[in-house]
Amino acid sequence: MAAPLRILVFGKQGSGKGTLATRLHQRLGLPHVSTGDMLRESAASGSEFGRRVAAIMDAGELVPDDVMEGVVRERLAAPDAAAGFILDGYPRTPGQAAFLDDLLAPEGITVAVELQVADEVVRARIVNRRVCSSCGAIYAAGRDASADTGDCEACGGEVVQRADDTEEAVDARLAAYAALTEPLLDYYSGRGLLERISGEGDPDAIADGAVELVEGRRS
Q: CATH no. for residue 17?
A: 3.40.50.300
Residue 14: inside a domain: yes
- The residue from 27, 173, 196, 217 that is catalytic is 173
- Provide the pLDDT for residue 45: 87
92 counts as catalytic: yes
User: Is 188 among the domain residues?
Assistant: yes
pLDDT of the residue at 217: 84
Could you tell me the residue range of the domain that residue 148 belongs to? 5-30+83-218
Which pTM does this prediction carry?
A: 0.83
Residue 5, beta-bridge partner list: 84
Distance CA 164, CA 179 (A): 19
Whether residue 75 lies inside any domain: the answer is no
Total tally of structural domains belonging to the chain: 1
Could you tell me if residue 74 is inside a domain? Answer: no
- Candidate list 73, 162, 191, 218, residue with the active-site label: 162
Q: What's residue 154's pLDDT?
A: 93
| Other Cβ atoms closer than 10 A to 50 | 18
Is-catalytic flag, 143? no
Total count of residues recorded for the chain: 219
**Can 173 be counted among the known catalytic residues?**
yes
The answer to whether residue 145 sits within a structural domain is yes
The pLDDT value recorded for residue 219 is: 60
CA distance 156 to 179: 40
Answer yes or no: is 40 within a domain: no
How far, in Å, CA of 55 to CA of 20, rounded?
A: 32
> Residue 213: inside a domain, yes or no?
yes
Euclidean distance between the first and the last CA atom of the chain, given in angstroms as a whole number: 13
pLDDT score recorded for residue 109: 95
**Along the 219 residues of the chain, how does pLDDT read in single tens digits?**
678 999 999 999 889 888 899 999 999 999 999 887 888 888 888 888 889 888 988 887 778 888 889 989 989 999 999 999 999 989 988 889 999 999 999 999 999 999 999 999 999 999 999 999 999 888 999 999 999 999 999 999 999 998 878 888 889 889 988 888 889 999 999 999 999 999 999 989 999 999 999 988 876
Catalytic residue (one of 17, 75, 123, 125): 17
Of 27, 40, 52, 129, the active-site residue reads 129
Quick check: is 206 in a domain? yes
DSSP-assigned letters across all residues of 133-201: TTT--EEETTT-HHHHHSB-TTT--BEE--TT-SHHHHHHHHHHHHHHHHHHHHHHHTTT-EEEEE-SS
**17 carries an active-site annotation:** yes
What is the chain's alpha carbon radius of gyration, rounded to the nearest angstrom? 18
Per-residue pLDDT at 95: 87
Q: Which of 52, 92, 196, 217 is catalytic?
A: 92
The predicted pLDDT at position 1 comes to 63
